[in-house]
Amino acid sequence: MEKSINVTLKIWRQASPKVKGEFETYKLDKVSTDNSFLEMLDILNEKLVKERKEPIAFDHDCREGICGMCSLYINGHPHGLDGETTTCQLHMRRFKDGETITVEPWRSAAFPVIKDLIVDRGAFDKIIQAGGFVSVNTGGIPDGNAIPISKLKADEAMDAASCIGCGACAAACKNGSAMLFVAAKVSQLALLPQGKVEAASRAKAMVAKMDELGFGNCTNTQACEAECPKAISISHIARMNREFLSAKFND
């Protein structure tokens, strides 16, 4: 039998980057516990539109846990209290009847608020452009087994490649560090033969861009790993540091 709950929502409202924001409170009754968190926000927005009020702006795309766009801080945690879960995978059954739910955008100097719950995560794109790619010769498609890769290395590379660039790591870090994101992108290429072409410059370029964009330093609190929806290990940060130092010494 379907269950419903009543919730109070404290949601950050901010009309534009240059306008001071504040929390506004909304009450929503008879929310199905089968609804996802984003579906609940859709229901709230329908209610606000009917009342001729400004709907809440929030980011989303795939709603399948793979695009990384649903960047919401929920009750003090990126993507909510559930581990290894994106906001779109969070369901209202995780909340209690009568609960007050606080919803905020990412809080990071490098992710300025665009409107309400939407932040500009373009800084991550700039880091990728700085070095998160490989050079390949165009032409015929090479055979999949042409370059042998051990299963251990392939699995580790795929674990790093599971990063969806949502920004939860930087939002959770007290220093606003993007080290886990950068490390995952460096690591997924450093482990594969295809990534060796730019190996000497990749880590240097991506770390330099990260610093330039205003992200903080890593102090190993592991908050990034704890809040990552894909459970990416901070061990990748160690590999990125090795890649960075190797590139520096070989200059």
37-92 pLDDT, tens digit per residue, is 999 999 999 999 999 999 999 999 999 999 999 989 999 999 999 999 999 999 99
Domain ranges of the chain: 4-115, 122-249
- Overall average pLDDT of the 161-188 stretch: 96
- Two structure tokens written together for 139: 């032409």
3-state class percentages of the chain: helix first, strand second, coil last, to nearest 5: 40, 15, 45
Higher pLDDT, 76 or 248: 76
Question: Is there a contact between 225 and 180 (Cβ–Cβ < 8 Å)?
Answer: yes
Contacts with 11 (C-beta within 8 Å, 6 or more apart), sequence order:
23, 24, 25, 26, 56, 103, 116, 117
pLDDT greater than 90 at residue 33: yes
More confident residue, 148 or 242: 242
Report whether pLDDT(189) > 80: yes
Query: Any idea which fold 122-249 has?
Result: Fumarate Reductase Iron-sulfur Protein; Chain B, domain 2 (1.10.1060)
Better-scored residue on pLDDT, 107 or 146: 107
150-158, long-range: CB < 8 A, 24+ apart: 153/191, 153/192, 154/191, 154/192, 156/187, 156/191, 157/187, 157/188, 157/189, 157/191, 157/192, 158/188
pLDDT of 31 higher than 90: yes
CATH class of 4-115: alpha beta
Indicate the pLDDT class of residue 222, thresholds 50, 70 and 90.
very high
